[in-house]
């Protein structure tokens, strides 16, 4: 088992009050989020533990990784709460009645790190072009 990048104390330091059940869930989610983040980084050829150990930017990187894990756990804890789930988009119709809702975290788990991977410098925009008609060396005769 690898390093867990954040703790329950990091959640409570942000002012998030947790019940006993949520604390148990948070401990499991923190280790799971850390493992998932490590695996996502490996997909992009990066070793988070090595980046944290780097003397040049290790402390700042470690703080960013901790923030990433905490944000993911807070999202997951909010999605499994006893209250009604947060809806980010809704639409309704009349007569034939239709309703469509988009939930904030429909998967109720740690399923995405897209924006966080950008913050950590792991996911970068790739650009390029393909010459459809050939190049200067091609002959059209």
Report the SS3 class of residue 21: helix
* DSSP code per residue over 35-91: HHHHHHHHHTT--HHHHHH-TTTHHHHHHHHHHHHHHHHHHHHHHTSSSPPPEEEEE
Per-residue pLDDT in tens (0 to 9) along the chain, 141 residues: 688 999 999 999 988 888 888 899 889 989 988 998 888 888 888 888 888 888 777 788 889 889 888 888 888 887 765 555 565 666 777 777 777 766 655 554 555 676 777 777 777 666 777 767 766 665 555
């Amino acid at each position: 088992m690898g390093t867990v990048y954040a703790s329950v104390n990091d959640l409570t330091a942000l002012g998030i009050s947790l019940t006993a059940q949520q604390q148990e869930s948070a401990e499991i989610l923190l280790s799971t989020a850390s493992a998932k983040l490590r695996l996502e980084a490996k997909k992009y050829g990066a070793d988070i533990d090595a980046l944290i150990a780097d003397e040049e930017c290790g402390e700042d990187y470690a703080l960013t990784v901790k923030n990433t894990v905490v944000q993911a756990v807070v999202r997951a804890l909010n999605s499994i709460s006893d209250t009604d789930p947060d809806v980010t988009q809704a639409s309704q119709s009349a007569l034939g009645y239709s309703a469509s809702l988009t939930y904030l975290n429909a998967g109720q788990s740690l399923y995405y790190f897209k924006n966080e991977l950008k913050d950590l410098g792991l996911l970068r925009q790739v650009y390029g072009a393909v010459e459809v008609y050939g190049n200067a060396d091609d002959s059209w005769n």
